Amino acid sequence: MNVVAEKRRLRVGVLTLVLAGLFGLIVIRLAVLLALDGSRLSSLARGEHSEQVTLTAPRGPIVDRHGAALALSAQAFSVYARPARLLRSSSAAERARLAQVLALDPKELTARLGRPSHFVWLARRIPRTQADQVEALGLEGVGVLSEYKRYYPESNLAAAVVGMAGADDQGLSGLELQYDRLMRGGPVELREDRDALGHAILDSPLALRDAAPGARLELTLDAQIQARAETELAAEVKQSGARRGIAVVLDPFTGEVMAMASVEGSGAGDRLHNPAVQDVFEPGSTIKGILAAIALEDRVVGAHQKVYCENGEWTVGGKPIHDHGRHQWLDLQEIVEVSSNIGAAKVALELGAARYYRGLRAFGFGSPTGIDLPGEASGIVRPARTWQQIDLANHGFGQGIAVTAIQLASAYAAIANGGVWMRPFVVKAAYGADGSPIFIHTPQALGRVISPTVAHSANVILRSVVNGDDGTGRRAAIDDFVVAGKTGTAQMINAATGAYYQNRLVASFVGFVPADNPRLVVLVVLEDVGHGHMGGLIAAPVFSEIAAGALTRLNVTSRRADFDSASLLPLSSPASDNWSAEDNPVAPQPDRVRDVRSVPDFRGLSLRGALRMAAGRELNIQVEGSGYVIAQRPAAGQPLDGTPIRLTLGENEQMADAPPAVRRVRCGRRGGA
C-alpha cells in the first residue's frame, strides 16, 4: 500500500514539475513577446480589429484683389466597399450593375475587391447624381462619403500662378503648393472597429466631426488686368509664331504683382510650370536702361557725355560688335534711344567688371527676388573675376547674362519708384475660416540702389526710347500718357553647341507708365520668334495694349504735360523736406495734384511732408508704419469724398538718416545682394 502511494506521489511531483516548467516557459515567452514584439503585435491586432481612413477638408479659396474667385473647393462624393461583406452578400449580376454605374470595367471591380484589405475605394469625387445611383442599388458593404474637389472657376486664368492641387488634395504647383499647409485645413478621420468575425461595430460617417476649411488667400492679382494680359499675349504669340509669351504687371512702389501671364504657343495652359519666375532668358538691350542707371550712379558717364560709336562696327578682343545703324557720336540718352550695342559696350568697359557686376547684383540680378512662388530661378550673372574684356562688353548689351521675367520687371520698378528695390509678392493676405487675418503682407523695401536724382535721369533717358524721333520703342506709346521703357532683342543659345542661333530670338519690351507719376511696370517677353521679329515691333505693341487696359482698370487719368517740363517721379517737394536746388539739380518738382477736388499723390513723401501736404489742403489722413509713403488709399486722382486717406509708410536702414534727394548708396551694397 505504501509502495503504491509513494509511486503516486512521485508521479504527481513529476507532473507538477513538468507543468511548472511549461508555465515558466510560457511566462518567459510572453515576456519576450511583450519586450521585443509588443508594439508590432499590438499594431497588427489593431489592424485586424480597426481601420482608419483620412478624408480631406475643403481647401481654402484663392481670390484676386477684388474677391473674384480663382480656385474653389466643391462638395463631391466618393464610393468605398468592404470587399468581404460585398462579395458575401451580392451576386455577380449586382456587382456588374455597380461597375456599370461607376463606369468601371467589371474585371477592374473584381480586381479591387480581391485586394487583401477590409476597405477599398471604388471611385473618388464623383457627382451627386452618380453617388445617388450607387446608393439606390442598396448593396451591403458599399458606402458613400462626402469629400471635396478642387476646381478653377475662371478656367486657366492665372493658371501658372495659382497652380493646381492633386487627387488627394495636396498642392502640386504654384500657390497651391507654396501655401499648401495653410489651405488644406483640418482633415477628418473615419475610424471603424470590428468584432472577432469582422463585422463593423461602428460604420456611420454621421459620427464624424466637421472638417475645418483651409485658409482663404487674397492675391495682389487683378483678374481683369490678368485677363487682358493673357488675351493680348496670346494674340501676339499666335501672330508671331512665338513658342511662348510672358507678361508681368507690377506696382513699382509696393512690389504687388497685378498680373503674371504665360501663354504657350501650343495654346495649352500649364499649371505645373511658371516661366515668369522659373525660366531665364538673355535680356538683350533691355539691360541698357539698367546699365545707364549704374553708370550715372557711379558717375562714370554723364547724361550728355558723348561716346564714339565707330560707324556701326567695332572689334573687342578680336570679336566684332555691330549696330543696326552707322552711328558716330552719341550721348547716353541717344545710346539707349537708338539701342547702340557699341555705345553700351563702351559704357560697360568704362564702368569696369567689378562696378558693373556690383550694380547688376544691386538691381537683383543673379539672386532670387524672394517672390512667394515656388521654384524661383536665380538667373545667371557669373562672378566679375571670370569676365574677359569681350564678356564685359557683351554684358553691356545683355548678352552672356540671364534673368527671369520677375527680376527684370523688379529692376525697372526700382527706376520707376525713385531708386528703391522692392520685393515682389502675389499674396496680399490670408484669412481663417472665421475671417480673422492669419497674415497680411506689407511692402518690403530691400534697399536703395540708385539715388532719386539718378532715377529721374534714367526716367528721362528711357522716355526717349518711346518718344524720341529715333526711338526703338515708338510702338509702345499710349495715347495721352508718357511712357518710359526699353526694347530688347536677343539671340537664343543652342544648348547643344553653346553657339547663338541666327534666326531664333527673344523679343521684349519693359517700361513704366505714366512716366511722370509711375503706377505700373509692364514687361512683355516673346520667346523663340523668327528673324526680323524685334522687340520694338512685336513686344512694344503688346505692352501698349496691356498697359492701356490696366490704366483704365485703375481709373488713372492722363495729366500729360509737355515733354520737357513734365515731372518724372513722385518725389517730395522742397517745402516738405527742405530740399535745395543743389540737392536735386535735375528733377523738376512734381505736380502732385491732378485736380483741387481729387486725392493728391503722397507716395515718396516723408511723414512730415505728407502731414504738411494734408494740412495745406485740409485733408484727413490716417498713417500706418514709419518712414516714407509707399502706398495710399484712395489712389491719387480719385475724387475727394470726405473719407480719410490711408497712408502706408515703409522704412529701410539705408533710408533712415537722410532726405531722399541726397541719399547716394553705391550699387551693390544692398543687403542680400
Task: Please give the full DSSP string across 52-78, using - where no structure is assigned.
Answer: EEEEPPPPPPEE-TT--EEEEEEEEEE
Whether residue 60 contacts residue 110, with contact meaning beta carbons closer than 8 Å, is answered with: no
Q: Which amino acid is at 424?
A: P
DSSP-assigned letters across all residues of 139-180: -TTEEEEEEEEEE-TTTTTTHHHH--B-TTS-B-SHHHHHTH
pTM, 2 dp? 0.73
Cβ(42)–Cβ(197) under 8 Å? Answer: no
Exposed (0-12), middle (13-18) or buried (19+): which is 65, by Cβ within 10 Å?
middle
| Other CB atoms within 10 Å distance of the CB of residue 16 | 10
Distance between start and end Cα atoms, the chain = 108
Report the sign of the C-alpha dihedral through residues 531, 537, 540, 546, in that order: negative
CA-wise closest residue to 415 among 221, 253, 579 = 253
pLDDT of residue 561: 46
CA-closest candidate to residue 252, choices 66, 514, 64: 514
CA quadruple 31, 32, 34, 35: dihedral sign = positive
Sign of CA dihedral 134, 135, 139, 142: positive
Which residue type occupies 347?
A: V
pLDDT attached to residue 191: 57
User: How far apart are the C-alpha atoms of 377 and 397, rounded to whole Å?
Assistant: 22
Parts of the chain belonging to CATH 3.30.10.20: 574-662
The answer to whether the beta carbons of residues 483 and 515 sit under 8 Å apart is yes
Query: What's the pLDDT score for residue 437?
Result: 95
User: What are 322's strand-pairing partners?
Assistant: 313
SS3 103: coil
Q: Round to whole Å and give the CA distance between 393 and 130.
A: 67
Task: Establish how many alpha carbons lie within 13 A of residue 338's alpha carbon, considering only the half-sphere containing its beta carbon.
Answer: 21
Buried b (16+ CB within 10 A) or exposed e, 86-105: beeebeeeebebbbebbebe
CATH superfamily of 223-268+275-553: DD-peptidase/beta-lactamase superfamily (3.40.710.10)
Side-chain-facing half-sphere of 413: CA atoms under 13 Å = 32
Q: Where in the chain is the domain with CATH 3.40.710.10?
A: 223-268+275-553
State how far the Cα of 396 lies from the Cα of 347, in Å rounded to an integer.
7
The number of beta carbons lying within 10 Å of the beta carbon of residue 242 is: 26
Torsion of CA 158, 163, 167, 170, to 10 degrees: -140
What are the mean pLDDT values of the chain's consecutive 10-residue runs (673 residues total)?
72 78 79 67 55 70 96 86 86 88 87 83 86 88 83 92 87 95 74 52 46 89 96 95 96 96 83 95 96 95 89 91 92 95 96 96 96 96 95 95 97 96 96 93 93 94 94 94 96 85 93 95 96 92 96 85 40 33 33 55 73 71 74 83 80 36 31 33
Tell me the residue length of the chain: 673
Measured distance CA(399)–CA(45) in Å, rounded: 67
What is the CA 28 to chain-centroid distance, rounded?
Answer: 63
Q: What is the SS3 assignment for 46?
A: helix
CATH topology of domain 53-216: Penicillin-binding protein 2a (Domain 2) (3.90.1310)
Predicted confidence at residue 605, as pLDDT, reads: 73
Q: Give me 458's grid cell.
A: 534714367
236/507 Cα distance (integer angstroms): 11
Class assignment of domain 574-662?
alpha beta
- Ranges for all domains in the chain classified under CATH 3.90.1310.10: 53-216
Using the 8-state DSSP alphabet, how is residue 537 labeled?
I
- Find cell 449580376 and name the residue: 93
